[in-house]
Amino acid sequence: MSKVVLVVAAHSDDEALGCAGTLAKHVESGDIVHLFFLTDGIGARLGSDEDKNNRVIATEISANALGVESYDFAEFPDNQMDSVPLLDIVKCIESKIKSIEPDIIYTHHGGDLNVDHRLTQQAVLTASRPQPWNKVKEIYAFEVLSSTEWQTLNEPPFLPNVFVDISPFIDKKRESLSAYKEEMRDPPHSRSIENTINLSKYRGNTVGVAYAEAFVLLRYIK
């Protein structure tokens, strides 16, 4: 039986970095995948309308590469989500959850350096709190290079306990990352395509497969 999967991320490209291979695997299995981005990922850099349009185009290319059902953007300020009442973010995500009724949610690690990432996870957990109407049974946190590994000692480390074998889908992940070429950096930057693929290889090799994506299980209702 197919499942409905929702990715709630602060910025488009987070899904490519954190869980693109897993999403492609879901699609291959017949699951329906939706992407929901809380900001446009541009505003903090005073981007032009053209920059925003290019980011949307990149998102569409990535979404098509992965075969997801839909993608959508909220209007919260990029890298300034802490200027918005948390309740507003929660209500926005709650509305999306009620609309598509996901079984599984992927979102950010709560200890990321990026403030938008931290608030996104907090809002997701609040919006998906177990209630009779809520179908969400599984919630996972992914890692995003140039944020998760740059956390300070004051924040909880990313200690994955779920690994998804994405070996057959590593080219899909690379294609998804390539769609966001403007957001990627050249090696040896942490957020390079090469390093992201290397991370997948490292995560895979730690559990005996060629490539994997790692997650922290936040909730599982059987």
Tell me the average confidence (pLDDT) per consecutive run of 10 residues in the chain, 222 residues long. 97 98 98 96 63 91 98 95 98 97 98 97 97 94 97 92 98 98 95 98 98 98 92
CATH number at residue 28: 3.40.50.10320
| The model scores a pTM over 0.85 | yes
Q: Give the tens place of pLDDT for each residue, 33-42.
A: 999 999 986 7
Q: How far apart are CA 66 and CA 56, in angstroms?
A: 15
- Domain housing 82: 4-220
Helical H segments across the chain, by residue range: 14-28, 49-66, 86-100, 115-127, 170-179, 193-206
pLDDT at position 45, please? Answer: 54
What pLDDT score was predicted for residue 51?
A: 79
The tally of domains found in the chain comes to: 1
Q: What is the pLDDT of residue 133?
A: 86
Beta bridge mates, 15: none
